[in-house]
Amino acid sequence: MKLNPKLPDINPISLADLLFRKDKRKELFLDLTLEDRIKFLGSATKAVKKDILSKISDEDVVSILQSLDPDEATDILQLLSNSKREKVMLLLSQELKEALSTLLAFDPDTAAGLMTLDYIKVDETDSIEEVAKKFRSHEQKTGRPPVILALSDKKLIGFLPGHELGLSAKSEKIGKHVRKIPTISYAATHKEVVKQFHNHPHSKVVVLNDSKEVVGIIYSDDMLKLISEANASSLYNFAGISPEESVTDSASSKVKNRYRWLIINLGTTFLAAFTISLFESTLDKYVLLAIYMPIVAGMGGNAATQTLAVQVRGIAMQQIDLKTAWKTLKNELGAGFINGLINGVLVASIVLIFNRDLKIAIILALAMITNLLVAAVFGTLVPLVMKKLGKDPATSATIFITTATDVLGFLAFLGLATLILS
């Protein structure tokens, strides 16, 4: 059974209590059916899951684990304290206990941490009938159809498509029906696993140990889950929020996760304010400039965020680095210039209609073009530089880019105003 990310059909008030009321969480959780308990755990945050699992009985945990695939049961077990995990393991069926012991032995942040044990190993000289018996035996024990992996001299040579069991003659050897299947080391990182599926879009990949022996299977749906989690993490990084933070966290926990980022941003706003102060006399003479200043900075920040999002995705998929950035930078500069021209004409038209000031309209249009070019340059290069320095571009690049578009945007706008209006 795969964990369903959709929340169970619970009364909204009860669901809110289940998420936010720690004092009632255990009782409300135990009021759910087993199926809804599993659904809820599949969608709840790590903190909520750990809280629930620590409070319910060992027997209730076992009933959940027995209804899950071993790889998903492993994820649940890893949230338990060591003492509770040991007690729960003693209550599990021998088959599940052996499977979980195997999976728990591996690092959860590697390919082995993503794999399942739904496979059978057969020899290329086995007959279709012999393989069918092993297939049915595994399915009866686990309730799940296995991948059929074919070996020659105990080494993996490929897999047998399941439909061959029904289409081929019972006495026929499986060798000629074996198909190639991609493999990956058990120690490969999650990023390497994603790259493997990206380069070889198959529904499954075999995990091998150092001796090239099969230790597990990774399915494409596990990849989708991993990519989804990575996307959510990137979204949190853009906002300067810890990936562990959730809507159920306390105020003190939220402050702990966010205050450093906000203090850094506060420092950059002072830098922008200092830039504005350099043109105090110009602003005193032409108050109208102050009305349009946020437009220039805001448009630059938005454009830079768009560029940054594309760059971070390109970096994650290894499509770009500093050595190959020139073509991308040229395209971003072209897009920045055209978008700056379009928006510059629009905002200049508004100034002419409402303020009837041609000079300020020209200043604003030129500043818009300049700042969108700045956004293109910094949005393209800063994340690549951060990556080169070993920093997470999603987390570290944002602050430098927004600072550049604010400071240089104000500098362009007020500098042009000083030159043209004086």
At 271-328, the pLDDT tens digits run 888 999 999 999 988 988 999 999 999 899 899 989 988 888 788 767 888 888 999 9
Residues across the chain: 422
Q: What angle do CA 244, 313, 298 make, to 5 degrees?
A: 85
Assess whether pLDDT exceeds 90 at residue 191: no
pLDDT band at 2 (very low <50, low <70, confident <90, very high): very low
Q: What pLDDT, on the 0 to 100 scale, is given for residue 93?
A: 86
Q: Which residues contact 89 (CB under 8 A, 6 or more apart)?
A: 77, 97, 100, 101
pTM (two decimals): 0.55
pLDDT band at 105 (very low <50, low <70, confident <90, very high): confident
> Looking at beta carbons, which pairs linking 297-300 to residues 24 or more positions away fall under 8 Å?
297/272, 297/371, 297/405, 297/406, 297/409, 297/410, 299/343, 299/368, 299/371, 299/372, 300/371, 300/372, 300/374, 300/375, 300/405, 300/406, 300/408, 300/409
Which residue shows structure tokens 């249009």?
Answer: 365
What are the backbone angles phi and psi of residue 310, rounded to the nearest 5°? -65, -40
Q: What pLDDT, on the 0 to 100 scale, is given for residue 405?
A: 93
Assess whether pLDDT exceeds 80 at residue 381: yes
Assess whether pLDDT exceeds 90 at residue 336: yes
Q: What pLDDT, on the 0 to 100 scale, is given for residue 235?
A: 45
User: Between 400 and 366, whose confidence is greater?
Assistant: 366
For residues 60 and 90, is the Cβ–Cβ distance under 8 A?
no
B/e letters for 385-409, b = 16+ CB within 10 Å, e = fewer, are bbbeeeeebbbbbbbbbbbbbbbbb
Q: What pLDDT, on the 0 to 100 scale, is given for residue 392?
A: 67
Assess whether pLDDT exceeds 70 at residue 180: yes
Q: What pLDDT, on the 0 to 100 scale, is given for residue 157?
A: 94
8-state DSSP, 175: G
Q: What pLDDT, on the 0 to 100 scale, is given for residue 241?
A: 45
Lowest average pLDDT, out of 202-211, 217-226, 332-341, goes to 217-226
In this structure, which amino acid lies at residue 315?
Answer: I
Q: What pLDDT, on the 0 to 100 scale, is given for residue 1?
A: 40
For residues 217 and 119, is the Cβ–Cβ distance under 8 A?
yes
What are the backbone angles phi and psi of residue 401, rounded to the nearest 5°? -70, -45
Assess whether pLDDT exceeds 60 at residue 357: yes
- Give the span between the Cα atoms of 243 and 237, in whole angstroms: 7
Assess whether pLDDT exceeds 50 at residue 224: yes
- Give the span between the Cα atoms of 278 and 232, in whole angstroms: 41
For the stretch 135-165, pLDDT in tens is 998 888 877 889 999 999 889 999 999 888 8
The average pLDDT across 248-277 equals 78
Q: What percent of the chain has pLDDT over 70?
A: 86
Q: What pLDDT, on the 0 to 100 scale, is given for residue 329?
A: 94
Q: Is 383 exposed, middle or buried (0-12, 13-18, 19+ CB in 10 A)?
A: buried
For residues 38 and 68, is the Cβ–Cβ distance under 8 A?
yes
How far is residue 387 from each of residues 36, 284, 318, 339, 393, measured CA to CA in Å? 42, 43, 11, 27, 6
pLDDT band at 65 (very low <50, low <70, confident <90, very high): very high
For residues 245 and 381, is the Cβ–Cβ distance under 8 A?
no
Lowest average pLDDT, out of 109-123, 339-353, 364-378, goes to 109-123
- Give the span between the Cα atoms of 336 and 78, in whole angstroms: 48
pLDDT band at 246 (very low <50, low <70, confident <90, very high): low
* Helix/strand/coil for 268: helix
Q: What pLDDT, on the 0 to 100 scale, is given for residue 368?
A: 96
Lowest average pLDDT, out of 13-17, 74-78, 163-167, 275-279, goes to 13-17
Mean pLDDT of the chain: 84
Lowest average pLDDT, out of 42-46, 341-345, 367-371, 380-384, goes to 42-46
